[in-house]
Structures are given as structure tokens and as C-alpha cells.
Structure 1
Amino acid sequence: MDFIPIDYEMLRLIWWALLGTLLIGFAIMGGMDLGVGALLPAVARNDEERRVLLNLIGPTWEGNQVWLVLGGGAIFAAWPPLYAVSFSGFYLAMIVILLALILRPVGFKFRGKVQDPRWRSVWDWALFIGGFVPALIFGVAVGNVLLGAPFDLDTTLRPSYLGNFFGLLTPFALLSGLVSLTMIVTLGASYIAMRTRGLIAERARLYGQWSALAAVALFALAGVWVAFGGLGYAITSDYAGAAPSNPLSKTVVQQGGAWLANYSTYPLTLLAPIVGFAGMLGAWGLLRAGRNLPTFLSAAVGIAGIVATAGLSLFPFLLPSSVNPGASLTVWDASSSHMTLFIMLVATVIFLPIILAYTSWVYRVMRGPVTTQSLSKNPNAY
């Protein structure tokens, strides 16, 4: 592999960073839509106001799902053991998320087909579920990663998952789900406040202030739980960052407080939780001040900080095993081959800028407020 200009260890690190970037991208772009959906019953009180919110995210939500597809694809191609364990072990949770997400396109298309208020109310609640449930369950999944998943690997590296769906709903995992939900609702509220006018924007600012404060409090509580709740795993054997992938080649112990080790080893990582707190507190203050664009940017930065905090706390772990810690999957022993990672990196360097450019162009075209007046002039509006 001498002709590959980037060594194996560095490629693994790059793909870990890229995976985090894709997950942050989905948390912001997809989270914006989920947050609006979760706020639909609270912010919009009549049919006209609900149509405003539907047309706020309706033209762009499908494009924002690209980040979810990219994240899943990156896990599949760059970290095959992680994909095998997580997508099979968390299968029922994934199905719940997918069923909730499926309600969104159906709701957008079917809601306006019949004028009956009861018909529209059913689809409004479907759109609410399509925003609320994924926002919560994604956070529950992250909480279970921090706790460690009940899986093992046999001598041929075949995984076996020993848990069940209800075993995922532990107190800490639900707390993580609430952190995810509140930060996404804050982002959704800031987007509504930025792109709408009148009572809808005022209600969004009010709910956004409460969710921002809740996100700060719950994020702090989760940090205290991680520090003093006996959570964490540590590698106790030597490992080679450029060795062939074999998760069983190391020794791991469960060790309370180990998730905080990176913050003392690499002090710059402390920026992630600081940015998480600052972004959410900034969103709260800016919502009170009615500063629309700065509010949205602050909430997005806060989400990036919170997601990065989870990833940096886990590093180099991707998915610890609570049953057999030695089978835990890490950045150094669960990746694809050197060649595969390099070819994928070349493809990413080519296509990711195109996705970013296209997304920027779409939002530039769709810029401006969405109001009941603008809907009356658009015959294609939802």
C-alpha cells in the first residue's frame, strides 16, 4: 500500500472525524425539520398557521435527509462491524425511527387532499410524531452507546446481540434522548422564528426559550451522570493504529469516569462542551432579544458542540460492549481496509462540496419569510 499517500492510522482518524461531521450535519439540517414537526401542535393553532409550518420545511426536508443517508452509508462502508452490530442490535429502534420518518412524506402529501378538519388533524399529529419520535430515539441511541451495548463477538468476529428494545430505555438513555429532543426543538423554534412572522414567530420564541434552558440543564445533568455514574470504558493493552482490523486484539475494562479522560489528555476537546453550553445559552438570550438569524446560528453551533462532546468522550471507541468489553469496537480495529478508506475519501472530497453547494443554492432560492399571504400567491403550496 506504499502508493497510498495517507497512512492507515491517519485515514482511520480522518474517517472518524468525517463520520462525526456527517452526524452533526444531520443533527442540524435534519434536526431543523424534526424540531419544526415536534412544535407543530404547540406553535400553530389553526389550519392556516399549520400550513405555514408545512411550507416552511416541505420544500427542503427531503434534501436534508441526505445527511442521514450519508451517515448510514459512511458507517456501512468505513466501519462494517459497527454497522453490523448497531443496525442489527438496535433493529427495533431503527424500525420505530423509520416508521416515524415515513409519516412525514405521507403527511405532507395527504394532508391537503381533503378539506375535512378531522382528516387534516390526523395528518398534523402524524407530522408531529414524525418529528418528536426520531428526535427522542436518536438521543436514546447515543445514550446506549455511552452505556455500552450488550453484544459479543465469536472467534470468527461474528456479532451476537444479547439485548432487546425495552432494554434500551434505561434512565440515562432516556435522559440522553431528552437532551437530543430539547436541542432539536430549540433549533426548530429558532428556524420558525427566523422564517415566519406574527403570532407563529412569537410562540416559537417562547417555546424555544424554554427548550434552550431545558437543553442546558439536561446536558449538564448528563455530564454529571457520566462523571459520577460509573460510566466509561478504557483500553488497557497496547494497540497499533495501523494494524489490520480485529476488535478482539485488545484488552478493555469498564471504568467509571473514563469518558472524561480525553478532556485531560487533550485539553482542546474541552471546547466541545463549552460550545454546547454557550450555543444553547446564546440561543436562549437571542430568542428573548428577537435576533432571528443569530439565534438560529447559535442553536446550530450548540448542537454541534453537544454532538461533538459525545464523540470526543467516546474516542477511540465507536461502540463499547457491556457484555464483553474486549469485543468493543474502536476507531483502530473496526474499520474497512486501507484501500477502501482511501477510495472513499477521494469520492468524498469530490462529492461533498457538490452537496454543500447545492444545499446552499436551494436555501438561497427558498430564502425569505413564509406567511399566509405568500401561500395564497403560490398555487403549489401544501
Structure 2
Amino acid sequence: MSTIEMNHITKVYGDGFKAVTDVNIDVADGEFLILVGPSGSGKSTLLRMIVGLEDITSGDLVIDGTRMNDRAPRDRNLSMVFQNYALYPHLTVFENIAFPLRLSKNKVPESKIKEMVGEIADSLELREHLDRKPANLSGGQRQRVAMGRAIIRSANGFLFDEPLSNLDAKLRGQMRTEIARLQRRLGITTVYVTHDQTEAMTLGDRVAVLRRGVLQQVASPRELYEQPVNLFVAGFIGSPPMNFLPATVGDNVLEMPFVNLPLPEAVGKAKNKGDLVIVGVRPEAFEDANLVEEVHRHEGVTFTATVDVTEWLGNEKYAYLPFEPHKDVQQALNELDRELDGEAMRTQLVVSLDGSSKIRQGDDAELWVNPDSIHVFDAESGDNLTRDESKARQIADESEEDRKRELARAQEKEPLKV
């Protein structure tokens, strides 16, 4: 196991394009770090600099205390799993997994190779496929072979470059579980690149969000969700995405489409009456007012709005409420949407309701919202004016304790030695 330190890492190409700018991330021993961001955010470039496939323009890459900038990829002792699997088509599954041992400078006895490949094949449920060629395997099986080849090297770290993007939705879910389980069993430091925020939130101990090559925030999934530092992170994390609504600072209220909410103290200190801000509120902060228990009704604000469309998904229902955005806010949100590779800009409020709600399309619905769950962003800088630093630190500490406990439990219960 190893630590990976990225100190002021920058990548500038020959034409002057800056792909990665001054990134600082420390990956702890045994940690699962996710690099996430939209297309062109620099996440794959950063991964390739770690493994040695891209030169580092400036900054230091340190693995286990040793500077690696000038070391060849083979001397960094890192295993990489590629998006396209990169298997050898003429070799069997057994030989693909065993290949790194065949190349090893230290001769590995054939009996040891068979033992190691067999244990890995059992853990990946590949035993019955060891004599088959990659062309005869499914996408999920090929991905597991690529993982087996990475595991057998006994490397200091795993690097994954969007390994599940070629799989269908069901198989992606299964492979996410498998990768998480294996990473805990091995206890190996892992850096994983994806553009899928669901993968980021379910797999990572911490997630590093990149935007145009600049690190926006690195934190646990929970902290990203509850305490995003800016509009970009808030918009990228969460499904359905966070709603963004224009709001004007009034007398102790935020004047918004549909409803006025109490003015948070931090916003009152930072802004003047009449200033324009952007309010972020997640769909799950809403509920059908008729389903809110009487004891909790006073904790929120009730309002009435016309529902345009509803979608029933069994345990929950989404209701869509269109609104006309403020022109100054609309420009900022359009730019954000383009960066997030989003659909057409959301000029509608999306609310998540209990599946038993009777609200239907065209209804003037009575809705309830919890004002404590909102975020307020500066309309120009995008900074989160309501971020609670003490709460963020508490979440970070709790998440790190959880990571260490899960790692120790997995090692005690089902260690995998290769």
C-alpha cells in the first residue's frame, strides 16, 4: 500500500493549452479517490501524469515519499485498468491475467503463477473462463480480466480510467459493487476517473471535482452533497440535479419564484437588500404538504404552485414546475449547463415527492419545503454563501473514521493476498 501526493501539478501542452492547473491532492494509504468532472476537465490527463503516460509540466508527484516525475511508468509500480480493457486478444484469460508475472524481472515459478491466477480468478468468478479468449467474453467478464491483471502485480496503487463506461447500466451497477469490494479486500490505494457522478458518489472515500483543469473541491461524497463550495460542485453532484432559482434579498426574506424563504444569516451579512443571488435547493427538500406530519409542518414553508408534468417511479414521484428565470441569472446558469454537459437549461423546478402523493399534472398543488436545506450562491462568483465550515470539518472527520473502520473490517473478514 502507498500514499500518492500531488503537489502543485500542472500540465501545459506545446500549443500553450493548460489542461491541468496547480492541483494539490494527497491520497492516503488505502484510500479510494475519485477524479470526476465533465468532458475536458483534465481528470484523465491528471491520471495519466500519475502513471507516467504524460509528462508533468510543473509540480511534484510523490509516491511513498519518493518524487516520481522523472521515473518511467514501469518504475512507479502502479497498475492501470483502461476504458477499453487493453487485453491481448491472442492470449487466454489465464495468460492475460498472468502476463505481468511473465514480464517480472524476478522469475516467478510456474506453480506460484497458477496459484495466484487461480485465487484471483476465484475472487472475480472467472475460474470457468480461464481457457477462453477475450473475444468470447462479455463486456463485464473482460473488465474483470483487466482487473485481475492489475491485481496480480501486487502494485502500490490501482488507477482506473473510466472502466465502466462501455458497460450497460445493469452491469455498471454490478461492477461498481465488485470494484468497491475488491478495493477494500486488497486495501490498496486507488485513483479512479469517471464522468459519472453516481459512480463517484457510491465508490469514493473522497471525490475530487475538476473544472477546466482546476480543482474545485476534494471531499467525501457526503460533504460534496451537503456542503458544496460553489455553484459548479452543487450542480454536478446529485441526481436529479439541484434546482437553481433566482432570488432577491429582501427584508429578512429571499424573494423567489413560487415562494419566499427566510433569509439565512450569512447571506444577510454578505449581501444588501435588492441584491440578486442564486438559491440552490435539491428536489428531495420538497414534499406534498398533505403528506407532511403535523408535528413537522412548522419546520418548513408551504406554498401553492401549478404542476406541469409528473413522473411516477414507484417509491417516489417527480413533479415539474416551470418558471421564468431572471435574465441575469439565466446567463450564468446557461454557462454552467454547458460545462456540465447538461440538457437544455433547467427553467423548471423539480420536486421529489413520496410515491403515494395524489398530485397530478395540471394540479394547483400545495407543496412543503424545508428552508434549512437551501444553499445560496453569489450570482457572480458562484461561491456558496451558506457553506458551514465547521459542519464540513465534522463531516470530513466522520467520513475518514468510517473509511478506516471499513478498511479494517474488510481486511479482517476477507483479506485477499496476491
Q: With the length of structure 1 as denominator, give the TM-score of the two structures.
A: 0.24
Please identify which structure carries the higher strand content: 2
Larger radius of gyration: 2
